[in-house]
Amino acid sequence: MTLQAARLPNLTGWLLILTVAVAAFGLTALNLHSAIELNARQASPALQAVNSAILIYATIPRIFAAILAGAGLAVSGMIFQDVLRNPIAEPSTLGVSSGAYLAVTLVTVFAPNLSRGWLLPAAMAGGGGAILLVFAFAWRQRLEVTAVAVAGMTINLVCGSLASLIATFHRDGTVSMMFWGSGSLYQNDWAAVTTMAAGIVPATILLFFLWRPLSMFGLQDSAMRSLGLNVEIIRGTCLAIATFIAADVVAAVGMIGFVGLAAAWLVRLVKVKTVRQRLVASTTVGATLLLLADQLLFASGTVGRSIPVGTFTALVGAPMLLVMLARTTHTGAHPVPDRRSQPRVINANRIGLVAILVIVLIVGSLASRDERSLFIAMPDDLATLFSWRWPRVMAAATAGGMLALSGSILQRLTGNDMASPEALGISSGALLGGIIGAFFPIGGEWSMVSGASLGAAVVTAIVLAVGNRPTLPSSYLMMTGIGLSTVLTAVVGIVGLYPDPRLQVVQIWMAGSTSNVSPVFAWLGLAMIFVGGVVCAGCSRWLDILPLGQPTAIALGIDLRKVQVLLLAVVAVLSAAASLMIGPLSFAGLLAPHIAQRVSYGRAHAQLAVSCLIGATLMVVADAIGRLIAYPYEIPAGIVASIIGGIYMVRTFGQR
């Protein structure tokens, strides 16, 4: 599995790098000149003093922060790619940045009295823990490219859910931190620059002394051992240095993704061969890329300066990841697996399982808590609780069921047992479409549902067009979806920065809270899952045949194009409605079909029915846990389910 070599000549690559550098430093000089000239035009000495302070303690440190952060992320990405032999590895795709950010968030919220110097050790611990988890889950596949990438991206999602959980309980104290966590280079002193310089410069110098063992990673591990090298120690040392550099950047300026990926791509264009030359080239390219991105935002006025540069790089870098995936080649075909030939873990009485799920569903709906203890609501209690409990329970159950149906359809349609609306970015597309629909002057909730359905449909089409190719392993489909989800999440983040009251609903959707679901929306969800279930039952024959492969399906008289369009439309509508109720990330659409597949012998009608029930049960239980575990506070059901489902997702992929 390799990335196709760039066919551009060296001169073109060097011209591109030179253009980026000239644009970055030219725009920086222009912005500085404008700031100095504005200060000189001030008539009041007091205003001149204020502008001078802004220039010295905000504008100039911002430039140096961009240079150091870009250089550090590029070097870290280069080391990760060389040592892991993974062309798309970098701190943001390996979970290092999100793990470091989660650790810094924990320290900031729960130990605010600690000095700033503790942030770097915390970030180092979080980043190191994240990459160790990635290795643990991808070890069975010998750290293969897609295994590492999928595990890393999933760790990103889990860490993001945990950070959202913290923000839910400490909203007042984490608003500015959430902005910083998006990768803001806004500075008001030289502290961040000093922190990065003290860590990145010595670590990069140390890498220059390790150039000889680093250059050996172009060989296989067995060849390195035959030359007398201790591969484990060398790899561990290099990865520790790369993690330290990435953690230093996160501790100073937050999460900025895809800089290392873009820098490595440009360096690869010019075919720099030696490690020392690539270290120099990577630091230079990374610094100029991030400086250019930040200065573009700075020059675009007040609106642009309010956008974190990490959000901007995600908008640019995630599509680059999709392009790189599209250029990926793999030797050998990967036939679509026949699900009915796969072993079943559970062959017990399925009726008993259904009964257990129904009992859990009822208990989860009735579970309550007061200041003294937990209890199950009795008829007398229900008279008080029913009016506000039933909409959220119905919303959680129907949303979980709709996601489960969507996941079952996607897994059978693509032949990928890791496909789901959340993992493929379909839920994020629905969220963005729903936000756009909220701005329509008429239609109310129906306009949001329509916009969300359209957004989900567009994302589904893009993901399947880019990632679902017979020459690629099925895991690339999920990688494509997660990459696209990163772009959509960045867009939602930018939209959410604008002070429009209608955008307050964004935070509610993204958190996945059912507490504000209206009765109208709850009934709408029930109607949609009923219609969706009827349609899915009518499509069960197609869903039985599709996993056998396209040639077999065509031979049996199925019009693939019409069937695919219909099934994708069902997925889009169900995913959109569910996402508007419980947020874009819950993993019910992944976990429920997996469990159902293990107990339903692979037949579509049985899997769909059991999967729907499991998804409904999962979300109702997640809602109950969110209500009860931190009483009187509430954890959104979407966050609880995403943590459970994300861990299951990584564990399952690691065992494949």
Task: Dump pLDDT digits (tens) for 227-280.
Answer: 887 888 888 888 889 989 998 898 888 888 888 888 888 887 788 778 888 888
Helices vs. strands in the chain: H and E counts, helices first: 28, 4
Structural domain includes residue 135 = yes
Q: Residue 374, SS3?
A: strand
Q: How far is CA 129 from CA 4, 94, 247, in A?
A: 32, 11, 11
Contact partners, residue 55, CB within 8 Å, separation at least 6 = 35, 36, 39
Q: Are residues 93 and 52 in the same domain?
A: yes
Q: Are residues 500 and 550 in the same domain?
A: yes
Six-digit token string for 257:
């993704």
Structural domain includes residue 490 = yes
Q: Are residues 63 and 195 in the same domain?
A: yes
Q: Are residues 362 and 303 in the same domain?
A: no
Q: At 86, which CATH number? A: 1.10.3470.10
Structural domain includes residue 567 = yes
Contact 279, 78 (CB under 8 A): yes
Structural domain includes residue 337 = no
Contact 611, 596 (CB under 8 A): yes
Structural domain includes residue 341 = no
Residues of the chain with pLDDT under 50: 1-9, 330-348
Q: Are residues 360 and 316 in the same domain?
A: no
What is the number of domains present in the chain? 2
Report the DSSP beta bridge partners of residue 3.
328
Looking at residue 332, its pLDDT comes to 39
Q: Are residues 384 and 308 in the same domain?
A: no
CB neighbourhood size of 491 (10 A)? 17
Q: State how far the Cα of 252 lies from the Cα of 192, in Å rounded to an integer.
A: 5
Q: State how far the Cα of 309 lies from the Cα of 327, in Å rounded to an integer.
A: 27
Q: State how far the Cα of 74 lies from the Cα of 197, in Å rounded to an integer.
A: 15
Structural domain includes residue 296 = yes
Structural domain includes residue 329 = no
- Domain span including residue 135: 8-35+44-324
Looking at residue 343, its pLDDT comes to 41
Contact 91, 130 (CB under 8 A): no
Q: Are residues 362 and 311 in the same domain?
A: no
Looking at residue 346, its pLDDT comes to 45
Looking at residue 431, its pLDDT comes to 77
Nearest to residue 150, comparing CAs of 428, 418, 421? Answer: 418
Q: State how far the Cα of 638 lies from the Cα of 432, in Å rounded to an integer.
A: 17
Contact 257, 486 (CB under 8 A): yes
Nearest to residue 595, comparing CAs of 579, 583, 613, 578? Answer: 613
Q: Are residues 307 and 359 in the same domain?
A: no
Q: Contacts for 566-570 with beta carbons within 8 Å, 24 or more apart? A: 566/539, 567/409, 567/413, 567/539, 567/542, 567/543, 568/413, 568/457, 568/460, 568/461, 568/464, 569/457, 570/405, 570/406, 570/409, 570/532, 570/535, 570/536, 570/539
Q: Are residues 358 and 307 in the same domain?
A: no
Structural domain includes residue 333 = no
Q: Are residues 315 and 399 in the same domain?
A: no
Looking at residue 69, its pLDDT comes to 93
Q: Are residues 199 and 278 in the same domain?
A: yes
CB neighbourhood size of 300 (10 A)? 12
Looking at residue 500, its pLDDT comes to 63
Q: pLDDT tens-digit profile of 284-300?
A: 999 999 999 999 888 88
Q: pLDDT tens-digit profile of 39-67?
A: 677 667 777 787 788 888 888 999 999 99
Q: State how far the Cα of 402 lies from the Cα of 533, in Å rounded to an integer.
A: 8
Listed in sequence order, the DSSP H helices in 440-518 are 445-467, 475-496, 504-511
Q: Are residues 113 and 148 in the same domain?
A: yes
